[in-house]
Amino acid sequence: MSQISLSFPDGNSRDYPAGITAAEVAESIAPSLAKRAISANLDGRHIDLAWPITESGAITINTMKDEAQALELIRHDFAHVMARAVQEIWPDVKVTIGPVRDHGWFYDFDRKEPFTPEDLGRIEAKMKEIIAARDPVRTEVWDRDRAIAHYKAQNEPFKLELIDRIPEGEDLRMYWHGDWQDLCRGPHLQNTGQLPADAFRLTHVAGAYWLGDASRPMLQRIYGVAFRNKADLKAHLTMLEEAAKRDHRKLGREMELFHFQEEAPGMVFWHPNGWTIYRELEAYMRRRLTRADYKEIKTPQVVDRILWEKSGHWEAYRENMFIVEVDEEGAKEKRTNALKPMNCPCHVQVYNQGLKSYRDLPLRLAEFGSCHRYESSGSMHGLMRVRGFVQDDAHIFCTEDQIEAECASFLDLLGSVYADLGFEKFDIKLSTRPETRVARTKFGTRRNRRLKRRSSRSATISRSIPARAPSTAPSWISS
């Protein structure tokens, strides 16, 4: 049998037969380590204790003291245990996917009746029974035909669709928590008893379209949180309670700042108190922009589709635009307009008026631009995600040689504004030109390089992200 060499964090190495598992490696080091082991890292990749190791590499055995790996496993296993509990209580429920997320997990279910708060209590109780049973967790790799046959027999259509999405040649790994089976990449713990029964909580239920597609079935998503111990769970729940007291939607009502209502979803009704704060912030920003030599402009909210077609937004962004059709007097057909979702094309129209000399540059155009974007009802969240908003927006028209200086000036302004508003740390993201764009020039490539070079000098954290809509220029996004 061929041999592999595994190196350990202390610098030592050992030879093992190819195909040895991480559990067996832990046992070879010390039986006590094998009892405490929950997973391993092989060349930086998180692996299951039961997976065979076929190539040499650097290995680390993880225990519950390794927070990142422990929490990933705990939350992933809780998702499976919750799904098992749901199907043991309601066998007709169909399962889909259950990924780990911040502080916990969610799992989407196809069930005719809505889950109630009382149902969550029943599920939690059943999960604790499963944990107490200390059922073994095991895994196998199946071929595609066997997996398809299994899920057809089980009448699990969502799992069949997931199999279709897995590329040919990629392993189809199955996991069992006791007798309950699921299609999953892993890794997982070794038995259900390793889960901390007093350190989890099912928090709420929400609707979610299958695979995030509004044309697909609406599922029920159960959310949960989990930690390594009861104390960490209690601290998290306390934090959530304190955050709920400071929820801006709650404060907006209590302080009579603003409200929302069904007749205008995602649109803010500002009350006198809230509008006073709004106007003070706007006045502050206007002073800062004026001192920085930005020229304030105002552009239309309703613009003919012809302009959006020229800019490329109509093709790439139409599903997020509010369309307005007008019967023009004497016209043979309706004129199609759109409420602007962003200000960029209109700012370019202002720049295009009249002749410009290099002496006119840099030209900094700013606008408190009213924009409207269609957001799905499930994604809206108070003032944080709306359909109607004012964008404190600006575009700088300059020569290539002025790019880095303008970036430096803008970043200084941004940092100063954020500091005044109490944000000492923020992220800068450079939105680069997408593959689908209006212009393809060597200048555009050089411009990207200059912006990236300037962002790398910034004291803030910077990274590049691809722009979504077609554009001619990259842009800065702060958060």
User: pLDDT for 410-448, tens place per residue?
Assistant: 999 999 999 999 998 887 777 766 565 544 555 455 656
Select the more confidently predicted residue: 407 or 460. Answer: 407
Q: How many CB atoms neighbour CB 436 within 10 A?
A: 13
Instruction: Name the fold adopted by 3-63.
Output: Ubiquitin-like (UB roll) (3.10.20)
* pLDDT per position as a tens digit, 33-86: 999 999 999 999 999 999 999 999 999 999 999 999 999 999 999 999 999 999
Q: Where are the alpha helices (DSSP H) in 30-66?
A: 31-36
What integer pLDDT is reported at residue 430 of this predicted model?
75
d(CA 437, CA 329): 35
> Residue 301 has which token pair?
């909210």
What integer is the mean pLDDT of 318-346? 86
What integer pLDDT is reported at residue 434 of this predicted model?
59
Half-sphere exposure of 379 (CA within 13 A, CB side): 12
What integer pLDDT is reported at residue 464 of this predicted model?
45
What integer pLDDT is reported at residue 214 of this predicted model?
80
Nearest to 12 by CA among 2, 3, 25, 21: 25
* pLDDT per position as a tens digit, 264-294: 999 999 999 999 999 999 999 999 999 999 9
What integer is the mean pLDDT of 320-338? 83
Name the amino acid, one letter, at 427. Answer: D
Percent of the chain predicted with pLDDT > 70: 89
> Residue 371 has which token pair?
């924009």
> Residue 225 has which token pair?
């949180």
Percent of the chain predicted with pLDDT > 90: 77
* pLDDT per position as a tens digit, 443-463: 455 656 666 665 555 545 444
What integer pLDDT is reported at residue 455 of this predicted model?
55
Q: Is the pLDDT of residue 92 over 50?
A: yes
> Which helix or strand (DSSP H or E) is residue 24 part of?
helix 22-29
Average pLDDT, the chain: 90
What integer pLDDT is reported at residue 31 of this predicted model?
95
Q: Is the pLDDT of residue 473 over 60?
A: no
- CA dist 78 to 10, 71, 85, Å? 33, 10, 10
| Domain range annotation of the chain | 3-63, 68-245, 398-479
Tell me the pTM: 0.72
- Bridge pairing between strands 57-62 and 3-7: parallel
What integer is the mean pLDDT of 123-133? 98
* pLDDT per position as a tens digit, 70-85: 999 999 999 999 999 9
Q: Largest Cα–Cα distance in the chain?
A: 89
What integer pLDDT is reported at residue 238 of this predicted model?
96
Question: What SS3 state is found at 279?
Answer: helix
What integer pLDDT is reported at residue 438 of this predicted model?
47
What integer is the mean pLDDT of 191-218? 93
d(CA 320, CA 374): 5
DSSP notation for 410-462: HHHHHHHHHHHTT----EEEEEEPPSS-S---HHHHHHHHHHHHHHHHSSSEE
Q: Which of 142-151, 332-341, 419-428 has the highest mean pLDDT?
A: 142-151
Nearest to 178 by CA among 192, 188, 167: 192
Q: Where are the alpha helices (DSSP H) in 134-204?
A: 144-153, 157-165
Select the more confidently predicted residue: 169 or 43. Answer: 43
- Bridge pairing between strands 20-21 and 427-432: unpaired
> Residue 132 has which token pair?
């107490």
Question: What SS3 state is found at 477?
Answer: strand
Q: Is the pLDDT of residue 470 over 70?
A: no
> Residue 182 has which token pair?
């699921």
In contact, 163 and 121? CB cutoff 8 Å: no
What integer is the mean pLDDT of 388-396? 94
What integer is the mean pLDDT of 164-179? 92
> Residue 203 has which token pair?
């928090």
Q: How confident is the model at residue 13 (pLDDT cuts 50, 70, 90)?
A: very high
d(CA 374, CA 342): 12
- 68-245: CATH number: 3.30.980.10
What integer is the mean pLDDT of 319-335? 82
Q: End-to-end alpha-carbon separation of the chain, Å?
A: 55
